[in-house]
Each structure stands twice: as structure tokens, then as C-alpha cells.
Copies of this chain bind each other. A is one copy, B any other.
Amino acid sequence: MSNLKKLSRASVVRLELYLEVLEQMQKEGRTHVTSAEIGEYAGLAPVKIRQDLFGLGTDGKPRVGYDVSDLAQLIRNAFDMDRAKSACLVGFGNLGRALAGSNIWSKAGFRLAAVFDRDPNVIGLEALEDVQVKSINEIFGVIKSEEIETGIITVPASAAQDTANHLVNAGVRSIWNFAPIKISAPENIVVENQSLAWGLITLSYRMKLAM
């Protein structure tokens, strides 16, 4: 594994945006792109793009720019997007259904291998092709047998910490938490919080600032 420097969170977000741009250019058949072009697309100064790419092992050519597919691959590698990873979803409510039905998984290299809920009326439903909602009681065994690394929490806040504990006990390495609380987990577990409520509050704050 290459010894890349840790990217700042801001830089990660920007690189995700560059990747989006690059993939669109690939579709359009473009083969090369300059930092100025990416910058225009992303609304950023060209230097910022080069600085973000520096350290990722870029191989741009002066007067030519970057090879579009090479650069996209570089970013995908940096984010480990091409390694096959299995995930499970806990909580098949509205948000769980939205996530299960979305196309985000394969793009990032994830397979949604299992879906759990505790409501008997929901257990047995077809969450997605070949994946039926299982009882939360099966979580331990299924995570082991499917070699699931990542658990997604879309249960109510009151059940979120319990769910996290189950996931950790069963051996997941990371948790993507949509409940609006901070989840405690051992240090070696990666926890990414994506509370939608917080996003809305942030929006409210920024609107106030802009007034």
C-alpha cells in the first residue's frame, strides 16, 4: 500500500467532487483535462486542484494536463473504492428504503448484503433483489457469514446506540450513522455521522449569516 499523507476532510470532499467531474468527462469521451478546467467546473482555483492532487502521486504533463481516466482511477484508489466491501443496513423505515434503493453502493465498491429490522411486519419483505429483510436477532450470524465490514444505522435515535453495540460485537469495522446522536464505539471502529437533522440546522445557520 502506498504511503499517502492523510487527506484533510475538506480535501476529501473536494476530491469526491473532482471524481464526479472526471467521470462526467469520461462519459463525454474527453481524454485529457487541465487543473484550470477542473477548477472552472468545481468553482475552485486551479492551484487548489493541483495541491489536492499533489501527494496522490499525480502524473500530469505540463501543457497537456491530466489523463482523465488515470486521474479518476487515482482518486478511486485513494478512496479504496474498487475494493469489494460488504455492508448491512439496520432499520428498514423510510430512510432505510431510500438507501437500499439508491445506486450509491456499487459506485463506492459496496454490496448491500443484508438488511435488518425488528418489526415482524417488515421482516421478510424484499429489500432489494435477492435480499430479504431479516430479524435483528440474526445480525451476529449474518455479519459473520457474509463477512460484512460496515453497518448502516437507520433506526430511531433511541435504538441507535444499542444497534451500534450489536454491530461492533458482530465485528464490523465501520458504522455509517444516520441517527441524530453521537454513537460511542471503540477507537478502532470508524464512525461516520450523517445526521440529516444536523444538515438542516447548518443550513439554517448559514441562511442567518447570509441575511
Chain A residues with a Cβ under 8 A of chain B: 1, 6-7, 9, 12-13, 16-17, 20, 41-43, 78-81, 83, 85, 93-95, 97-99, 101-102, 104-105, 107-110, 149-150, 173-174, 176, 180-182, 184, 188, 190, 192, 194-211
How far, in whole Å, are A207 and B173 apart by their CA atoms in the complex?
Answer: 7
- Min CB distance, A5 to chain B, in Å? 11
Whether the pair A208, B95 counts as a contact (CB closer than 8 A) is no
Query: What residues of B have a CB within 8 angstroms of the CB of A98 in the complex?
Result: 93-95, 97-98
How far, in whole Å, are A208 and B202 apart by their CA atoms in the complex?
Answer: 28
Query: What residues of B have a CB within 8 angstroms of the CB of A93 in the complex?
Result: 98
Query: What residues of B have a CB within 8 angstroms of the CB of A99 in the complex?
Result: 196
Whether the pair B107, A197 counts as a contact (CB closer than 8 A) is yes
Query: What residues of B have a CB within 8 angstroms of the CB of A110 in the complex?
Result: 200, 204
Residue of B nearest to A208 (CB): B80
Whether the pair A176, B150 counts as a contact (CB closer than 8 A) is no
Chosen A-B contacts, 18 in total, with CB atoms closer than 8 Å, are: A1-B211, A9-B202, A16-B201, A16-B202, A20-B181, A43-B184, A80-B205, A85-B204, A94-B94, A94-B102, A95-B102, A97-B97, A102-B196, A104-B180, A104-B196, A104-B200, A108-B197, A108-B204
Residue from A43, A205, A210 whose CB has the most chain B CB atoms within 10 Å:
A205
Residue of B nearest to A206 (CB): B190
